[in-house]
Homo-oligomer: A and B are copies of this chain.
Amino acid sequence: MPQLTTGEFSLVYNLLSFTLAAMLASFIFFVLSRDSVAPQYRAALVMSSLVVAIAGYHYFRIFNSWNDAYTISNGVFVPSGQLYNDAYRYVDWFLTVPLLIAELIAVMKIPNGKRGALTARLVVAAAAMIALGYPGEIATTTATRAIWGTASTIPFLYIVYELFVGLGPAIQAEVGQPKILLRNIRFLLLGTWGFYPIVFMLPLFLGDVKGATSVVAVQIGYCIADVLAKCGYGLMIYAIARAKTQAEQANAPARAAETVVAGH
């Protein structure tokens, strides 16, 4: 770990705390908002609350790890000798990324026969993507890093293919606000998830990746990407579930009336 100025250390410190607070608040929101969506969408909100609870736990650990990894000496933050454990992030992704995929499918119109198999394929791909990235992250040579990074890209590309091609007809079948939101959420997924491989690949392109600027930039990037990909994504899933609930409630009395007329 490099030596940091008070400003650099504090920026990461406060951003880690901010992310922890955002996860905590999102957790409370998703738990309290379950009742405002129709029963068939509640599983999606439960998954959103699991994602931010898992991330909140890991940010609590990352915050403490960051704090313990440095000690102040003559107004400068120097490494304390304790390990800054970035591996918490991999554990977090291994648990949360499959859930993020599953909650998207949970708010979409997919025939029950196909839903299970599709969820299973995407969840396995998501878990494989993270598991294959980890050996590269802890590798000591750039060659090993590149090999595992490439292996990890294969399931990532499969997920992107399913999102933009495989799920296309299901999104076309939607109407109004949910259709717009479902189209946009794929770009949020691609944009935020795309950030992680860029950080992963940085050591292959930059010489001084262990410098202060790189370390601070990577931590800031991860925090922002996590807030968008977990809290922001969860809020979009909530908005989709809420819009669908309202549309279904608006149609329900009309349909009931039709039934009465048809019955006569």
Q: How many copies does the complex hold?
A: 2
Contacts of A154 in B (CB 8 A): none
CB of A31 to closest CB in B, whole Å: 7
Question: How far apart sit A90 and B95, CA to CA, in the bound complex (Å)?
Answer: 27
Given A57-B21, A85-B13, A91-B18, decide whether A46 and B32 contact each other with a Cβ distance below 8 A: yes
Complex interface: stretch among A34-42, A160-168, A205-213: A34-42
Distance of A22 Cα from B25 Cα, bound (Å): 17
Residues of B within 8 A of A94 (CB): 18
Chain B residues, CB < 8 A from A29: 46, 50
- B85 adjacent to A10 (CB under 8 Å): yes
- Given contact pairs A25-B95, A46-B29, A49-B32, A14 touches B54 in the complex (Cβ within 8 A): no
Q: Which of B24, B32, B58 is within 8 Å of A34, CB to CB?
A: B32
A residues adjacent to B (C-beta < 8 A): 6-7, 10, 13-14, 17-18, 20-22, 24-25, 28-29, 31-34, 36, 39, 42-43, 46, 49-50, 53-54, 57-58, 61, 72, 81-83, 85, 87-88, 90-92, 94-95, 138
Which of B17, B57, B88 contacts A88, CB < 8 Å?
B17
- B81 and A14 contact, CB distance less than 8 A: no
A contacts with B: majority SS: helix
CB closest residue in chain B, given A31:
B32
What B residues does A91 contact at CB under 8 A? Answer: 14, 17-18, 21
What separation, in Å, do the CA atoms of A50 and B14 have in the docked complex?
19
Question: Are A95 and B21 touching (Cβ within 8 A)?
Answer: yes
Q: Are B81's CB and A72's CB within 8 A?
A: yes
Which residues on the B side are within 8 Å of A17 (C-beta)? 61, 88, 91
In the complex with contacts A32-B49, A46-B29, A87-B21 CB distance below 8 A: no
Complex Cα spacing A22 to B21, Å: 18
Residue of B24, B36, B58, B72 near A42 (CB, 8 A) is B36
- Report how far A14 CA is from B81 CA in the complex, Å: 19
Q: How far is the CA of A33 from the CA of B31 in the complex (A)?
A: 11
Contact of A24 with B53 in the complex, beta carbons under 8 Å: yes
**Least distance between A122 CB and chain B CB atoms (Å):** 17
CB neighbours of A33 from chain B (8 A): 46
